[in-house]
Copies of this chain bind each other. A is one copy, B any other.
Amino acid sequence: MGPGKADLLEGIRDTGSIAQAASRMGMSYMRAWGLVRTMNGCFREPLVVAERGGNTRGGARLTQSGEQVLGLYREMERQALASTQPNWERLRRFLAAP
């Protein structure tokens, strides 16, 4: 998982379609399909199911695992950001004016 795959899962959840999720991210359908296949292969249960089956441009949705993995990942992003915020403020003071 990383920010790109999380955005893709979110797009599939929101649009109900791999093609639309890809298009929203400016990503080719083939690339999105490849990422979905990779993710599905890395987890015990698939994160995304194609509702009309197979490599078609039909609907797709997140499984319960997909929802949970996406939720955990997004929470990790918030946790990392919050925990590093004070040091980030300190570090910013060392940066040159833009």
A87 to chain B, nearest CB (A): 5
Copy number in the complex reads 2
| B76 with A87: CB separation less than 8 A | yes
State which of B44, B79, B88, B90 has its C-beta within 8 Å of the C-beta of A96.
Answer: B44
Contacts of A75 in B (CB 8 A): 87
Do A84 and B76 form a contact, CB below 8 Å, given A44-B94, A65-B94, A95-B43? yes
A96 to chain B, nearest CB (A): 5
State which of B69, B90, B94, B95 has its C-beta within 8 Å of the C-beta of A91.
Answer: B69
Task: Give residues 69-98 of A contacting B (CB, 8 Å).
Answer: 69, 72-73, 75-76, 79-80, 82-84, 87-88, 90-91, 94-97
Residues on A facing B (Cβ under 8 Å): 1, 41-45, 65, 68-69, 72-73, 75-76, 79-80, 82-84, 87-88, 90-91, 94-97
Closest 5 CB pairs of A and B: A83-B83, A80-B80, A79-B83, A76-B84, A72-B91
